[in-house]
Structure 1
Amino acid sequence: MRYFLYAVLSLMLLGCSAAPFTPKKINGVSFVASGSPVDSTNIAPVVAVNANFAAIMPFGFIRDLDHPRIIHNTDRQWFGETRAGAKQYIQELAKSNIAVMIKPQLWVGRGQFTGEIMMQSENTWMKLEASYRDFILEYAKLAKEVQADILCIGTELELFTKYRPEYWNALIDEIRLIYNGKLTYAANWNEYRKTPFWDKLDYIGIDAYFPVSDNKTPSVEDCIVGWEKHKPEIVKFTNSHKKQVLFTEYGYRSVDFTGKQPWDYNRGSGLVNLDAQVNATEALFKTFWDEDWFAGGFVWKWFHSHDRVGGLQNNMFTPQNKPVEEVIKNYYKTY
């Protein structure tokens, strides 16, 4: 009898040890579009950082903030910015069991901020709405075709959503007729409380560039304290809507004062500061990844040619080939 019990206990322990780890969070990377197809060598670093999701970002282009025509899916774009490119990326990621969020984005001429897109007449508003409908429904159809887990219906379009809420409500209804997966919208960090249609979506999406520290090299503790200004508002908001929050983008540049204005992407500004990036990122994980109401997030940003990007002299957002990559890898493994 004693040996039988030992045998049963041993089998139970072996069964537990063999059970696969099931992540509790969306541990994502923002997979940047490139000019060429990808293969397993481009996906291997995504797997190595323990990511289970990737945001795929096809693009549409607008000439100016008051111009209503969106140009998209053309031969003049990079491969990864088109429908065919997005599909190829998704299929290659699927081979490594990486789920996807399709996140179509707009680029305004001269890099102007999409949140300030604003038409000057009812006629141009209607033209923009028709053009955006064509753009987003193209990727809703792709999301259905590839069985994407999440579709993000827009990114940082504050004035567009503010002044045309009826359009967005109708657009969401139309998207749902095509695609039955999860929907979100990527609101800027200071926009999400004003977005009018969260109750029609599945996640409250936030591009999480909240200011958390004015220090040159903020400590983890500095940034955790900085989050105390923002986290209670996020908690109150998610409770009121009874939906999880998803950081559709998060991340910090490896630069001095990285927590002061985390949205600043001016390539020429700031001295390299790898510690600042590490500390701010770790504070974000410590603040949110344990919370049940928090779904996870997508680090900004991840390039397909891993060996040729980032590095110790790079002061931009990518975590690749920097100390912060190990921080992300460890938290993604844990959660």
Structure 2
Amino acid sequence: MSSPPAPAKVADPWQPGDPQLGAQVLWYAGNETDATVRAKALRVVDYMVGKDMNSLAISFPFGTRAPQANEVAATAATPSVRHLAILMDVAAAAGLRITLRPLLDERTLMAEDPLAWRGSLAPTDRDAWFRSYESFLAPYLSLAARHHARTFVIGAELTSLEDDSRWRGIVSAAGKLFPGEISYDANWDDYVSRRISLPVNHLGVDAYFPLKTLGDDASVSAIVAGWQKWLDRKSTGKLPRILLSEVGIPAEDGAYHHPGVWRDAGKPLNLAVQKTWFAAACQVARDRDMAGLYWWNIDFHADPAAADPRTDVHSSFLGRPAESAITSCFRAWAASASGDR
């Protein structure tokens, strides 16, 4: 039997101290076989290596019944541990740095309350919720330890629960299963408005700073200035312990006013808006000496070679001019980091 094809190799693999230059791969499970998962994993990894990325973050969903529920669990949309391991092994063979990131699926919440989101959870019994969450995380922490992950994101955008002292127990239990870096990803508004005191190694920011005064023809420098103004609300100067865990925007008119809203209906396509935003975000991250940047997102099931920039969902950057901003950003940033070693 012939061996499965090998992935392309990262030319300059990540080393401690280097910026993490990557994308979030969003994976909602279907009915894939192991062979199909391996083929899709190879496809997405080859694409990322070809765009000068050195890091991959895997965002995968889990669920809860309602905002007030006290339990969380894997769902039919959650990839199996075995299938996640396949993607992680392919990424490791390519030399990509790996982050594993559970992400609470909001669809069930919104079915009960259209305004509900993962940041508005209100469990009636927090002890029960945190016990359930710790139990849910355990197999994925063990997976991360066995399959080459450098970072495990202990939570993302769980704004209403961030001040809870029970996180200390969650992080402590995680450390017994996973020896790598434990991080947490905060929503952009939460990051700038208050202190986030989870006992983690690093903090990520899902960075969707709205710039409501800018038109679609805004320059890179104008967007950079808007981002810097937002970040200065929290801290001025360098931010080497902060990671941009999500940077994305739909390629459509008016998106600078609401970069985290994925409309795709009724808004005209605007490819320049997305490219300009990506270029500006990269400049800000480099100016602030941040720990890295992950673009949002690559659908695990998407075929980059078949991307149609005119008809694909507006949130996708595959096949669009924003790709050139990605490669320009990462090539320059990696070259600078290499020169500083």
Give the structure-1-normalised TM-score.
Answer: 0.83
Structure 1 position 197, deviation (Å)? 2.5
Q: Deviations over 1:280-300 (max 9, x none)?
A: 1111111222433x0011100
Structure 1 position 66, deviation (Å)? 1.1
Moved over 6 A (4+): none
CA–CA distance in 1 between the matches of 2:197 and 2:174?
Answer: 14
CA–CA distance in 1 between the matches of 2:307 and 2:127?
Answer: 41
Q: Deviations over 1:260-308 (max 9, x none)?
A: 111112332421100111111111111222433x001110001232234
Cα pair distance change 1:281/1:221, threshold 3 Å: same
The AA in structure 2 aligned to 1:223 is I
Task: Kindly report the root-mean-square deviation, in angstroms, between the aligned alpha carbons of the 2 structures.
Answer: 2.2
CA–CA distance in 2 between the matches of 1:261 and 1:334?
Answer: 28
CA contact (8 A) 1:59 1:82 kept: no
Is 1:297 paired with 2:330? Answer: no
The AA in structure 1 aligned to 2:136 is F
Q: Deviations over 1:153-197 (max 9, x none)?
A: 0010011223xx211011111211221211211100011253542
Q: Deviations over 1:41-97 (max 9, x none)?
A: 33211111111111112221112111222121x5x335xx33222211111111211
CA–CA distance in 2 between the matches of 1:269 and 1:101?
Answer: 35
Cα pair distance change 1:86/1:195, threshold 3 Å: farther
Tell me how many residue pairs correspond in the alignment: 302
SS in 1 for 2:274: helix
Matches within 5 A, 1:41-60: 41-60=43-62
Is 1:106 paired with 2:104? Answer: yes
SS in 2 for 1:317: coil
Find the counterpart in structure 2 of residue 157 from structure 1: 158
SS in 1 for 2:291: strand
SS in 2 for 1:55: strand
- Name stretches of at least 5 consecutive residues in structure 2 with no aligned partner: 1-10, 111-115, 334-341
CA contact (8 A) 1:161 1:196 kept: yes
CA contact (8 A) 1:186 1:207 kept: yes
CA–CA distance in 2 between the matches of 1:43 and 1:270?
Answer: 31
Find the counterpart in structure 1 of residue 338 from structure 2: none
Q: 2:26 aligns with which of 32, 57, 62?
A: 32
Matches within 5 A, 1:136-151: 136-151=137-152
CA–CA distance in 2 between the matches of 1:225 and 1:42?
Answer: 33
Bigger CA radius of gyration: 1
Structure 1 position 236, deviation (Å)? 4.1
Find the counterpart in structure 2 of residue 225 from structure 1: 225
Find the counterpart in structure 2 of residue 279 from structure 1: 276
SS in 2 for 1:38: helix
CA–CA distance in 2 between the matches of 1:38 and 1:113?
Answer: 32
CA–CA distance in 1 between the matches of 2:323 and 2:56?
Answer: 16
Q: Deviations over 1:141-161 (max 9, x none)?
A: 111111311111001001122
The alignment-based identity, stated in percent, is 19
Cα pair distance change 1:90/1:234, threshold 3 Å: farther
Find the counterpart in structure 1 of residue 330 from structure 2: 332
Find the counterpart in structure 1 of residue 246 from structure 2: 249
Structure 1 position 128, deviation (Å)? 1.4
SS in 1 for 2:57: strand
Moved more, 33-42 or 106-115: 33-42
CA contact (8 A) 1:218 1:257 kept: no
Cα pair distance change 1:157/1:267, threshold 3 Å: same
- Name stretches of at least 5 consecutive residues in structure 1 with no aligned partner: 1-19
Q: Deviations over 1:185-226 (max 9, x none)?
A: 11000112535424x222121000111353133221221221
Structure 1 position 237, deviation (Å)? 9.1
Find the counterpart in structure 1 of residue 188 from structure 2: 189
Find the counterpart in structure 1 of residue 91 from structure 2: 93
Matches within 5 A, 1:161-240: 161-162=162-163, 165-193=164-192, 194=194, 196-198=196-198, 200-213=199-212, 214-236=214-236
CA–CA distance in 2 between the matches of 1:152 and 1:127?
Answer: 21
The AA in structure 2 aligned to 1:202 is N
CA–CA distance in 2 between the matches of 1:247 and 1:150?
Answer: 14
